[in-house]
Amino acid sequence: MDGNGRWAQANGLSRLEGHAEGARAVREAVRTCRKEGVQFLTLYAFSVANWGRPRTEVRALMNLLLDFAEREKVELRDQDVKLQVIGDADELPLATRQAVQSAISYTSQCQGMTLSLALSYGGRADIVSAARAIALRVQSGQLLPEEVTEQTFQSALSTHGLPPVDLLIRTGGERRVSDFLLYESAYAELYFLPIMWPDFNSKALRDAFAFFSGRERRFGLTSEQVQAAGTVVPLKAGHGFDPHDASNSLLASAESASAE
Ligand code: FPP
């Protein structure tokens, strides 16, 4: 969700007002995703690196998060949206942590969509923490090194339980991933757009979905294999494709098509 600061500057406002407008855009994005049948939405709200921003800005962002959690939890539950956090929530100031925790509990039974807020999140940090947790299990004899699989690894990441990323959207004109879901985005479709996050509305989101629908997702296979299988991985299903999952219908049908 990049571009709050530049949006504010262009509109003669402070950076903090830009973030507040960004929070409004978050509400619209959540509603639209829910309406469109997205099952998993993950928002990069605060990175590990963002702790290095000026103290006033960090404080304002933490207050916005607190406000968001307090104000939106009722609407989230009404919309059947379950809130969760990825990243190191223990790093958040107490009041923010409590408000977020309360919204998480309040929405815990919702099943329509999972909204994950990435807070004090870093993709590298998450990978290192997973590696450390697995190393400890190996050291204590609970796990053999040869038992460490992609599945073991995925379940040690803070995104465990979430499917791989299908579509990664970045506003603000930069074309980089900036430490977001590094492991999980292996086969993500990347969508960069020049508009600033506060201007990101339902129309822009639907355009992103249209872009996604037009992509041929090959997951390392050939276009012919994919077409023979006649299968697309739908955005609405929210599930990526695990090339090592033998039960995966795309791979299975592509193999039988090439064997014929
Ligand atoms: C990056 O834009 C944005 C952030 C570091 C914060 C994102 C926060 C929000 C959208 C609002 C709060 C979130 C929730 C979930 C309520 P930037 O500030 O770096 O923009 P710039 O590159 O133009 O300076």
DSSP element (H, E) containing 35 = helix 15-36
Write the DSSP assignment of 64-89 as a string of letters. Answer: HHHHHHHHHHHHHHHTTEEEEEEE-G
85 lines ligand 1 (CB under 6 A): no
For ligand 1, the distance from its centroid to the CA atom of residue 129, given in whole angstroms, is: 25
Instruction: Please state the pTM of the whole predicted model.
Output: 0.89
Nearest CA to ligand 1 atom 3: 2
**Among residues 116, 124, 122, 99, which one has the least CA distance to residue 43?**
116
Q: Just list the catalytic residues.
A: 2, 50
Q: Which atom of ligand 1 is nearest to the CA of 197?
A: 10
Residue 172 CB contacts under 8 Å (≥ 6 apart), including other chains? 2, 3, 6, 194, 195, 196, 197
Structure tokens given for 237: 């299903």
Per-residue CA distances from 78 to 34, 81, 89, 94, 111 (Å) = 11, 8, 25, 26, 11
Backbone angles phi, psi at 40, to 5 degrees: -135, 120
With a 6 Å cutoff on the Cβ, whether 22 touches ligand 1 is yes
What is the rounded CA–CA span in Å between residue 44 and residue 180? Answer: 7
Q: Is the CB of 117 under 6 A from ligand 1?
A: yes
Predicted local distance difference test score (pLDDT) of residue 231 = 60
CB 250 within 8 A of CB 229: yes
- Tell me, in angstroms, the distance from the centre of ligand 1 to residue 259's CA: 50
State which amino acid sits at residue 169: I
Instruction: Judge if the beta carbon of residue 21 lies within 6 A of ligand 1.
Output: no
For residue 228, the CA-to-ligand 1 centroid distance in Å is 43
pLDDT tens across the length of the chain (260 residues): 999 999 999 999 999 999 999 999 999 999 999 999 999 999 999 999 999 999 999 999 999 999 999 999 999 999 999 999 999 999 999 999 999 999 999 999 999 999 999 999 999 999 999 999 999 999 999 999 999 999 999 999 999 999 999 999 999 999 999 999 999 999 999 999 999 999 999 999 999 999 999 999 999 999 999 999 876 554 333 444 343 343 334 443 444 444 43
1 lines ligand 1 (CB under 6 A): yes
Ligand 1 centroid – CA 1 distance (Å): 6
Amino acid at 231: T
